[in-house]
Structure 1
Amino acid sequence: MTTLCDGMEVEFSYLRTTLGLTDGNLGRHLELLAQRGYISMRKTYNGRRQRSWIQLTPVGEAALAAEARVLRSILATIDGVNHAESVP
């Protein structure tokens, strides 16, 4: 989802290459994200070749922001523990 967070629509093959996943593995991940309303997918055709385009939805943006807040909180806790351990 972070690959999609800039608001741009990206092609399936770009995601596959960027993430280093197989078609099937990426397809399954995208299917689950779409079911939750986190991404939208549209298909176009270039001659006979089908192209799939993926974009983060507002629901997906909100979910990603919530996840980032949780991760920041975890990191702040870790930083606080590490700082406390280093103080004599």
Structure 2
Amino acid sequence: MPDAQFNDLIHAPVRLRICGLLRPVEQLDFAVLRDTLGVADAALSKHLKLLADAGYVRLVKQASANRGDSRRLTWVRLTPTGADAFDGHVRALREIAGQ
């Protein structure tokens, strides 16, 4: 279990929500994340790049059997490092809140 540690990178509202959405699942499609968060593609890409550069998320592009064109789906998953950082951040927030 990771120690409680406030994480400035994760704490930004959209990135906190991204990590929260990814934590209980193996992976999510970029479009599902975008639509759930209600942000533009460019905004989500920027947040995911910051998280990926820190080693917190991994992006995997994959061809889709359901598409007739050559576009690929982008799958996003929280890495073990990202899960630990998120869990530690949530613990720190609980400590701050006195819970």
> When you count helix as a share of all residues, which structure comes out higher?
1
Structure 1 CA distance, aligned partners of 2:47 and 2:75? 14
- Give the structure, 1 or 2, with the largest relative contact order (CA under 8 Å, sep 6 or more): 2
Runs (5+) with no aligned partner, structure 2: 1-18
Percent of aligned pairs with the same residue? 36
Q: TM-score, structure 1 length as denominator?
A: 0.83
Letter in 2 for 1:69: R
> Max radius of gyration: which structure?
1
Match of 1:13 in 2: 31
Moved over 2 A (4+): none
Q: TM-score, structure 2 length as denominator?
A: 0.74
Write out per-residue CA displacement over residues 11-39 of structure 1, whole angstroms, 9 at most, x where no aligned residue.
00000000011000000000000000000
Number of equivalenced pairs: 77
Runs (5+) with no aligned partner, structure 1: 80-88
Report how far residue 7 of structure 1 moved.
Answer: 3.3
RMSD in angstroms over aligned alpha carbons?
1.2
